[in-house]
Structure 1
Amino acid sequence: MNSEIKTPWAQSPQEVLDILETSSTNGFSSHQVEERLRIYGRNLLKEEEKITQLARFLLQLKSPVVLTLLIATAISVLVGDIVDAIAIFTIVIINAIVGYIQEAKADNALEALKKLSAPHARVIRGGSIQEIPAADVCLGEILVFEAGDYVSADCRVIQASQLSADEAILTGESLPVNKDTVPVETSAPLGERKCMLFAGTAVATGTARAVVTAIGMNTEIGRIAGILESTDIAKTPLQGRLEQVSNRLLLFCLLVVFLVAILGMVHGEEWLDVLMTAVSLAVAAIPEGLPTVVTLTLVLGVQRMAKRNALVRRLSAVETLGSTNVICTDKTGTLTTGKMRVREVFTLSSGILKEEDAQRNDDALRKLIESSVLCSNASITSDGFATGDPTEVALLYLAKSNNLEHQYLNSAYPRLAEWSFDSNRKRMSVAVQAGSEVIIHCKGAPEALLPLCQLTEKEKVMILEAIETLSSQGRRLLSVATRTLPDPLQEFNVARYKDSVLVENNLTFLGLVSIADPPRQESIIAIQDCKAAGIKAVMITGDHPVTAKAIAQELGIVEDGIFDQVMTGLELEKMSPKDLEGQVEKIAVYARVSPEHKLKIVQAWINKGNIVAMTGDGVNDAPALKQASIGVAMGKGGTEVARQASSMILTDDNFATIVSAVGEGRAIYGNIRRTIQYLLSGNIAEILIMLGAALMGWPTPLAAIHLLWINLVTDGLPSLALAMEPVAKDVLKTTKRPSPKTFFDRRFYLELAFVSIITTVMALALYAYMLKTAGETLAKTYVFSFLVFAELFRSFACRSDQQTAFQMGLTSNLYHLLAVAIPVAFQIFLHHFDLFRALFKVQRIDWGHCLILLVLTLIPVTLIELKKWYVQSRKRSQ
């Protein structure tokens, strides 16, 4: 058999099946699948060849910064300074190893995320339908489709019912193409091959079975992929902005380096020392590991989201997620449980009771529940699996909560006859045996059942008031009644009561049952979190407006007088986009809305300058999901098309998960922001210290090896540890919504300047004092260690913008504690070993002075933490 059939569209279904040696009813066995995967490979488009581990490591040495350092190493060797050459080269290699480890971890994490978001396909194997990863679909496989499914391979349709497919991705055709099983001409162009389904497209309507005729690069979309060559890796908007900042910093550094070099030559320093200092200063000033740290931060955050049932499909979406301020969401199954349940019951003796307040020891209530269950065809298995009409299932769960099992009731009162529900009568009745009597149980719409009941005027008024109250809450109401037939059991004849009118009269009213899809308790809390975080939640549903608003009020979405309007799809249809923009900020609920209307709603919010998350699960939701800033697809009940169009997938279809994901997005944003600030402030301080000393005419305070070492120990482990900072429970309440337009705001630059200037002033003051009292070498030693300790300790303040390190708990991020403790220990012992002292050109610092130095280095972090404490105290006093 060939790896593909040349023209399957020109052959009959049976001919294609014969050529591919497969069966439309049984499919392949597991052995056949293994054999075909071995021969023809997996159903994957060709990916860029993975880089080898050696190549990954060598790439760390390819940057201009590292090449500059290697040149500096060569110069040191040429002039005979072997110690400096070894030291610089060693640090270059260590930096390369750190970068290699970081990139490898990020790549591995991204690969894991790709596997999580891989599309699936339904196939027939061994005579049964199975769901498998799309990559495991093999040539000759029988695929099963329904509306909304993603087509994972090119295939010939062999069975079809009202089938159409969206092929815009291949043909540009905006409307779905009708499909059937009839062969077409061999020369038929792609758009006219009506008996084929193509990989990458989607089933719009109907159902089908099709046999796979091409996989991977042999599919039509695979051929397109083969033509396209792309060598550039797409960067996230965040990374683009970071590069812009790094380029500006580089320009600033070059100017400073040039100035320092000129001043050094003027002051009579050796040209080699000036050259080495200038080179190392340029290297120390640029946080070359920043892009890797940022990517790793995003990946770690995405992995945390995946554990909380939010699968982010695009890494770049994380930044946008944190800026979301509007969430447009479905109701059923997302805000609500998606399961009908009894919300209230009404009896003449007890009035309206919440379901949780209904007790079985109330005789009237017990009769109401028993009658409801007996007049039902639903069932619940021992493992909790329910079958039957959702309304009747709700009645069974009410009985279960009152310790009444439907199996027991059905066996205690055997059914003798049933008069099924129909749309004219709007009710259902059954006859059951109760000892020697025949009891009729009837349930149905109140307007259909109440006229058949024997009621006093007072009772009618009570019932109508209850109906009005419950209807205003958007409940679905059932009325339940009963009657004992005059015939004894032995004389009961079903044929005699064939007409339901003969039994559905003179009924005794038992009560009302209100049924609705209840809101998820976690959704109510999530809506409160949204409000605290400045996020508007908008409900979009196909339900009746009364029902929709009632649920919205229970959830807390509707804010009286502020955000309380309910708009129907019919009203929305009549509004122009401009008119909707003028009203959109007042509309909390859209009812009787079709999926097509979602696009209009999303566009209106976006045009008002908002970052919008939109949920969806159907094929028709795909345009709105794509249009939204963040498209959120349902992982349980959603279609593959919706998932492919989205930026994020909820594996539990729960609104609360969206809100927690927004919190994760803000936390990730905060971690990145603080990490960048930590890196840049330290590097700028180093530049300013060197420039300040040059302007004062002092000897260079830091040798090349010092700058390289500071860059290694303070930028490496601590920055990674800050990226792994746990998410605070109240992150939505304590973290402001990030600006969607800029990453580095005025506050960021002010804090950057504050930290850099404090560190610079203290380092230069220490240097001036030590130059005067202890000599140049010891002065350089103190400044060197001061900067290392000051940077490491300052990282504690970078863990949070609002809380101090002690408020957060020093051990709440053990990675950070280790990331500081290890370099501090290295730095202390560096001064007490002859080899390291010679390598770094420093003098011994006795333990007493070490302690004094450590205390001095705590001053910058203490000032930052005191500033936080002052801000907190001001907020408390307001």
Structure 2
Amino acid sequence: MDDRKKDQSIQSHANFDGDSATGDRTQIRQDQQNQQPPQIDPSLADAQAVAASLGVDPNTGLSQAEAERRLAQYGPNELASAPPVPKWKKFLAQFKDPLVYLLLAATGISLIAWFIEKANAAPGAEGGEILPFDAIVIVLILIVNAVLGYIQESKAEEAVEALSQMTAPQTNVLRDGKIARINTVDVVPGDMVVLGEGDSIPADGRLLAAASLRVAEASLTGESVPVGKNVDTLAEAKALGDRANMVFNGTSVTQGTGRAIVTSTGMRTQVGKIADLLQATDDDDSPLQKEMNYVSKILGIAVCIIAAVVLVALALTEGFNDIHDVIDSLLLSVSLAVAAVPEGLAAILTVVLALGVRRMAEHHAIVKKLHSVETLGSASVICSDKTGTLTRNEMTVERVVTPSGEVQLTGTGYAPEGRMIAIDAAEAAGITGAAEAAQAEAVTTLAVGAIANDGELRETAVETVRNGADSASSANTLWEAVGDPTEVSLIVAARKVKADRKYANYTRVGEIPFTSDRKRMAVVAQDNADAGRLTVFAKGAPDVLLGYCSRIAVNGAVRPMTQGDRQQILAAVERLSAEAYRTLGQAYRPLGTASLADVPGVAINAAGHVVDIAEQSDVLENDLIWVGMVGIIDPPRTEVRDSVAEAHRAGIRTVMITGDHPLTAARIASDLGIIDATGAADLGSTVLTGTQLDELPDEAAFDNATRNISVYARVAPEHKLKIVESLQRQGNIVAMTGDGVNDAPAVKTADIGVAMGITGTEVTKQSAKMILADDNFSTIVEAVREGRGIFDNIRKFLRYLLSSNVGEVFTVFGGVMLAGFLGISQPGSQGVTVPLLATQLLWINLLTDAAPALAMGVDPSTDDVMARKPRKLTDRVIDGQMWGDIIFIGIIMAAVTLIGMDMHLAGGLFTDRSVDAIGHDAQMTEARTMGFTILVFAQMLNALCSRSHDQSVFVGLFANKWLWGAIALSTLLQLAVVYVPFLNTAFGTVPLSAGAWVECLGLAMIVLVASELRKCVLRAMHRR
């Protein structure tokens, strides 16, 4: 076969359905799909035949080299997205803003005024400006603003892209005979996908193995109930929802385990074929976005009212004599609008949020959406699972309790190194042989737990080099836990006592998997050393598993279990649980036959084959023989206690929700400071179980319980959702952690859904707003601290920008309304003379304001953010206190600016300079330069004052080096405008004398003095 035919053959093997995707896709993907001839439905083919056609061994999977080759050939496993927006379109999008349209209108008005002045100029006389500088400057500043917005938006997109890479979904596949976890995008046709509860299915595939496998396919078929899956070949083609031996991309496993061979990836999957019909929905605005829209609306209305008042006042007092007066009045309205609205606010807000999210990611808290940051600072309750989040998730079997006694295992971690020590009191009481019997039963107990197990303990040789003359090297062993840590701890314990010799001859033939509802699991295995006879091995919660046991193994003999035996076992459970051990019971049942078909009660289908073992738990999981139970310890994380205390200080309540025994949960909660109790009796009274929650009569009683109880044990997934909803009804902002698929509803319902990055299922990660990369409770508290700091910084630069812009509005409004008193307009003059030009206001808003505002977005906290109570989401971002700050500073800023202008004008309130030889126009230019410069420096000092509502500016004055750098940059820009000739012409400025600079700085300092005096009064009021 030549290479071309070989490639086409492999291509056809990878796509049984062979339909090309619809819609406008890239040409490369179209070509790939068009090469594929129609193929039969893989659901109609035998599983082994499917594997053979794809050129893969189901027992080993693809090799890494072959997987890489196929990835290069077929492309990544992802749906084709819309073509990326060209950069030039993104740049032009920066001009799609009502304010920009207003400024463009101002440009048109300015050009009309320039043409009229040129036309009315006498021949040979100097009439009007040589160039329309106002229009040119406005256009240039619009371009600069667009460039800055484009750069900032690009940086924010890069930050979001980096986060998406960190939260990329992953899948377990069989590569080179070992289970590997890879990015879902790298899955290729022929991959053997290993499925477990909570996994998102990465591609379309044919099942090769399934144990109690149920898949939620509502996203694809609309079927609301999870669909049971099996490996049987279909006799005829069926609808998508009835292909029980197939799994499909985009669906999720709700129960059981399985393995599937990938038949289609990317656009060739079923969901890929309908991808063009899927429409993206716009996200709702966050509270912060809604607040910004509200503020813009209020500012717009206020400016329109002010502009209307000014225009009416001018029309009544001075009248409009010609077209020049109308144009000047329109330019005045534009100046007011430019002064009122902080043009760079949206871009600055995006960048500050993006920087904050990046800092959170460095602390292992990955926030999926920028605007979710604001919610973090409002959390009032954190509901957390115990295992792995509050504890280390390093499960270790320390106790084994059997009918003959109890033993202790030494050693910690996953290294199978340790020994068994008898600790039962029976030997001391004179019962001969009790210690030996307990040790023998402990070996059997651990063997049963290791067989009924889906975990894996991997041994890896790591070569190390010793420093020395001979540079000798040695091999160390690294032990890696694969799967559930609890299950791996049983394998480790079994290896410690050489129990692996007992189960080495067993081969698993079927499994009844663990689920959160069943709280147990069982496997059926055949003994190759005993003619293949079958045995059921089971493990689970002791109180649950006891219900299926009718016999007990004592000192090598099996006898009926008595009520006394049950009470003794349950008493041991209580004792171990009180010592913070998690308990797991073990039992078995010999079936006495090598064929399941010979077991009484086992169902046989019409073809004479045994029905899936996973569906026959009622037959196989009964009449079990109890052999013993283990006590597993998972020590609390050392840093969590301090984090719980920190959360409590911040007004945040910590709630533990776990499936463990009540006494175990209570003891861990007490150790961590979640509850305050001293003894086991007290601990029991502070915990509610799922059963007790079900017994509560109504919603009011449920709310009353959740208001007072902070530890919940033996809960089902539906209880977690009810607890979250109850806490929300009480007005709390709830953060909820989760890892399993059944946690997803509660995680999604919570105000801040938090998924575990290490142990969390893909379904839960998709439902969450935040992912913990380290599964650590302390990371949540650190994220809350960071969220509060980010929110504070947002308030800081909003206080700064809005007070500065209000100062500009009051300057323009006061300068026009008081023009005669201040000397801005002279007796007999016609038209409107604005105190500051629109180009000067644009310069302040877009260049001088932007750098300090960005620097305030990374400002260190000026007080202890964790010493405050949580903010309510109903609280306004800009509250009454802040509006007071904004208006007060705005008035002071406008007053000192107008005073500075008055001091350089004839006929003013504070000075009475005569109109000398330079004329009123030149004098007005100098006064404008003074006002322009005073306003810039007043805003620079206002940036320092805006860091706190009531704390002195001198507290942590030099803590933010970025802010001082921004002030220095803005100062240099203003000096350039004052002293560079062509900028003088563009912005209507003239160089200032040394004396004028003293006046500028002195008047600007009044803003800082006034702010400090106001803060002193506020602090005195707070102390009282």
Tell me the TM-score normalised to structure 1 length: 0.78
CA 1:222–1:579: 2 relative to 1, 3 Å: farther
2:86 corresponds to which of 37, 52, 59: 52
Equivalent positions of 1:148-297 (< 5 A) are 148-184=198-234, 187-230=237-280, 232=282, 235-264=285-314, 266-267=317-318, 270-297=325-352
Cross-structure match for 1:15: 49
CA deviation digits over 1:379-409, x for unaligned, max 9? Answer: 9996785999989999x99xxxxxxxxx9xx
2:840 corresponds to which of 706, 710, 713: 706
1:755 corresponds to which of 881, 885, 889: 889
Q: 1:183 Cα deviation (Å)?
A: 2.6
CA 1:181–1:733: 2 relative to 1, 3 Å: same
CA deviation digits over 1:640-670, x for unaligned, max 9? Answer: 2222221111111111111111111112222
CA 1:58–1:735: 2 relative to 1, 3 Å: farther
Cross-structure match for 2:612: none
Asked whether the equivalents of residues 666 and 683 of structure 2 are also in contact (C-alpha less than 8 Å), the reply is no
What SS does structure 1 have at the residue aligned with 2:778?
A: helix
Cross-structure match for 2:849: 715
Cross-structure match for 1:861: 1008
**Structure 1 unaligned regions, length at least 5:** 345-354, 356-365, 398-406, 421-466, 479-512
Cross-structure match for 1:93: 143
Within 2, Cα distance between the matches of 1:391 and 1:624?
Answer: 26
Matched, 1:655 2:803: no
Q: 1:855 Cα deviation (Å)?
A: 3.1
Asked whether the equivalents of residues 542 and 593 of structure 1 are also in contact (C-alpha less than 8 Å), the reply is yes
CA deviation digits over 1:13-55, x for unaligned, max 9? Answer: 2333344344323433444334433343211123333222222
What SS does structure 2 have at the residue aligned with 1:211?
A: strand
CA deviation digits over 1:309-361, x for unaligned, max 9? Answer: 111123332222221101111122212223468999xxxxxxxxxx9xxxxxx
Cross-structure match for 1:325: 380
CA deviation digits over 1:473-523, x for unaligned, max 9? Answer: 634599xxxxxxxxxxxxxxxxxxxxxxxxxxxxxxxxxx99854332321
Mean Cα displacement is larger for which, 592-601 or 756-765? 756-765
Q: What is the alpha-carbon root mean square deviation over aligned residues?
A: 4.0
Asked whether the equivalents of residues 799 and 886 of structure 2 are also in contact (C-alpha less than 8 Å), the reply is yes
Within 2, Cα distance between the matches of 1:626 and 1:643?
Answer: 10
Q: Which amino acid aligns with 2:166?
A: L
Q: Which amino acid aligns with 1:246?
A: S
CA deviation digits over 1:222-276, x for unaligned, max 9? Answer: 3443103348565434223312321232122222233334445554674333333
Q: 1:737 Cα deviation (Å)?
A: 2.3
Equivalent positions of 1:505-654 (< 5 A) are 516-559=633-676, 565-575=686-696, 576-654=698-776
User: Aligned residues, how many?
Assistant: 760
Q: Which amino acid aligns with 2:942?
A: R
Asked whether the equivalents of residues 679 and 719 of structure 1 are also in contact (C-alpha less than 8 Å), the reply is yes
Cross-structure match for 1:423: none
Q: Percent identity?
A: 39
Q: Which amino acid aligns with 1:691?
A: F
Q: 1:194 Cα deviation (Å)?
A: 0.6
What SS does structure 2 have at the residue aligned with 1:782?
A: helix
Q: Which amino acid aligns with 1:296?
A: V
Cross-structure match for 2:599: none
Asked whether the equivalents of residues 580 and 668 of structure 2 are also in contact (C-alpha less than 8 Å), the reply is no
Within 2, Cα distance between the matches of 1:277 and 1:328?
Answer: 56
Asked whether the equivalents of residues 481 and 488 of structure 2 are also in contact (C-alpha less than 8 Å), the reply is no
Within 1, Cα distance between the matches of 2:67 and 2:398?
Answer: 51
2:981 corresponds to which of 826, 829, 834: 834
Matched, 1:821 2:968: yes
Matched, 1:128 2:250: no
Equivalent positions of 1:363-512 (< 5 A) are 385=479, 474-476=579-581
Cross-structure match for 1:496: none
Q: 1:471 Cα deviation (Å)?
A: 7.5
Q: 1:70 Cα deviation (Å)?
A: 3.1
Cross-structure match for 1:304: 359
Cross-structure match for 1:401: none
What SS does structure 1 have at the residue aligned with 2:211?
A: strand
Cross-structure match for 1:5: 16
Asked whether the equivalents of residues 365 and 770 of structure 2 are also in contact (C-alpha less than 8 Å), the reply is yes
Mean Cα displacement is larger for which, 257-266 or 642-651? 257-266
Higher helix share: 1
What SS does structure 2 have at the residue aligned with 1:558?
A: coil
Within 2, Cα distance between the matches of 1:163 and 1:125?
Answer: 22
**Structure 2 unaligned regions, length at least 5:** 1-10, 18-40, 116-128, 400-409, 411-420, 428-434, 447-456, 462-475, 504-571, 584-629, 821-832, 914-922
Within 2, Cα distance between the matches of 1:43 and 1:472?
Answer: 46
Q: Which amino acid aligns with 2:997?
A: C
Asked whether the equivalents of residues 155 and 196 of structure 1 are also in contact (C-alpha less than 8 Å), the reply is yes
Q: Which amino acid aligns with 2:900?
A: L
Asked whether the equivalents of residues 145 and 208 of structure 1 are also in contact (C-alpha less than 8 Å), the reply is yes
Asked whether the equivalents of residues 98 and 716 of structure 1 are also in contact (C-alpha less than 8 Å), the reply is no
CA deviation digits over 1:424-466, x for unaligned, max 9? Answer: xxxxxxxxxxxxxxxxxxxxxxxxxxxxxxxxxxxxxxxxxxx
Cross-structure match for 2:589: none
Mean Cα displacement is larger for which, 781-790 or 24-33? 24-33
What SS does structure 2 have at the residue aligned with 1:316?
A: helix
CA 1:713–1:288: 2 relative to 1, 3 Å: closer
1:668 corresponds to which of 767, 786, 790: 790
What SS does structure 2 have at the residue aligned with 1:160?
A: strand
Within 1, Cα distance between the matches of 2:170 and 2:52?
Answer: 26
Within 1, Cα distance between the matches of 2:211 and 2:818?
Answer: 86
CA deviation digits over 1:166-221, x for unaligned, max 9? Answer: 22322343432111112336542222111111112111222222122222233333
Q: Which amino acid aligns with 2:891?
A: I
Q: 1:580 Cα deviation (Å)?
A: 0.5
Cross-structure match for 1:696: 818
Asked whether the equivalents of residues 384 and 737 of structure 2 are also in contact (C-alpha less than 8 Å), the reply is yes
CA 1:654–1:588: 2 relative to 1, 3 Å: same
Asked whether the equivalents of residues 103 and 334 of structure 2 are also in contact (C-alpha less than 8 Å), the reply is yes
Cross-structure match for 2:465: none
CA 1:13–1:330: 2 relative to 1, 3 Å: same
CA deviation digits over 1:739-774, x for unaligned, max 9? Answer: 345433322322222222222233333334443235
Cross-structure match for 1:315: 370
Within 2, Cα distance between the matches of 1:224 and 1:711?
Answer: 48
Asked whether the equivalents of residues 181 and 195 of structure 1 are also in contact (C-alpha less than 8 Å), the reply is yes
Asked whether the equivalents of residues 566 and 589 of structure 1 are also in contact (C-alpha less than 8 Å), the reply is yes
Within 2, Cα distance between the matches of 1:165 and 1:549?
Answer: 35
Within 1, Cα distance between the matches of 2:766 and 2:745?
Answer: 11
Mean Cα displacement is larger for which, 771-780 or 206-215? 771-780
Matched, 1:745 2:879: yes
Within 2, Cα distance between the matches of 1:873 and 1:384?
Answer: 63
Asked whether the equivalents of residues 533 and 737 of structure 1 are also in contact (C-alpha less than 8 Å), the reply is no
Q: 1:542 Cα deviation (Å)?
A: 2.3
Q: Which amino acid aligns with 1:807?
A: V
CA 1:618–1:854: 2 relative to 1, 3 Å: same
Asked whether the equivalents of residues 543 and 591 of structure 1 are also in contact (C-alpha less than 8 Å), the reply is yes
Tell me the TM-score normalised to structure 2 length: 0.68
Q: 1:873 Cα deviation (Å)?
A: 6.2
Asked whether the equivalents of residues 758 and 774 of structure 2 are also in contact (C-alpha less than 8 Å), the reply is yes
CA 1:834–1:609: 2 relative to 1, 3 Å: same
